[in-house]
Amino acid sequence: MKYQGIIFDLDGVICSTDHYHYLAWKALADRLGIYFDETINNRLRGVSRMASLEIVLERSTVVYTEEEKAAFAEEKNNLYRELLKNMSPADLAPEVKETLDALRAEGLKLGIGSSSKNTKFILSQIGLGDFFDKISDGTNITRSKPDPEVFLKGAEYLELAPAACLVVEDAKAGIEAATAAGMDSAAIGDAVKCGLATYNLTRFADLLNCVD
């Protein structure tokens, strides 16, 4: 096989929490009197919480302290986690689960590489709490994508060389991070448009064609 392990981004790849992110950021922005819409929200994909907050605050006429920003980020995350409680195994597409099972059956190590600090909670909500071999997420990194740290740590946790891992991503920043980590990448969704990935997937199950 071409690879020994696959590292998946979470949001937009395994499941989608974009709408919940949007609702939480919108609630915060509305409270602060800052304009926020879906277009701005799209800029936050694959970006860390604090970096996302800076984008949200770009239209603010007020300069906030670091302490205030930290409080805003916590407020948004609390709103987001409340919304995530609505998630269930029904949010995991059968095609995704069947493909993951097929990859596991082929002997591949499977990991998560996500900037989210809520990764484990989301996986638990959708019924994948104990499925992945290792998880690299916002709780163990200091730099978000396109920095390669999250994927390099993911490979380290899987005890694999970076070149032995394939990254699956739906965001340009994630594809750039995979490239910087020395890993091949498979793009799905919006990431296909950037033209930087090793493979472009039309649907999740196409991933099976990338590993044979």
Distances (CA, A) of 129 to 62, 89, 116, 136: 41, 11, 15, 14
- Pick the closest to residue 133 from 106, 112, 105 (CA basis): 112
Specify whether 130 is catalytic: no
Contact 98, 90 (CB under 8 A): no
Amino acid (one-letter) located at 193: K
Distance (Å, rounded) from C-alpha 94 to C-alpha 71? 38
Specify whether 170 is catalytic: no
H/E stretch holding 139 reads none
Distance (Å, rounded) from C-alpha 86 to C-alpha 153? 30
Phi, psi of 85 (to 5 degrees): -65, -15
Catalytic positions: 9, 11
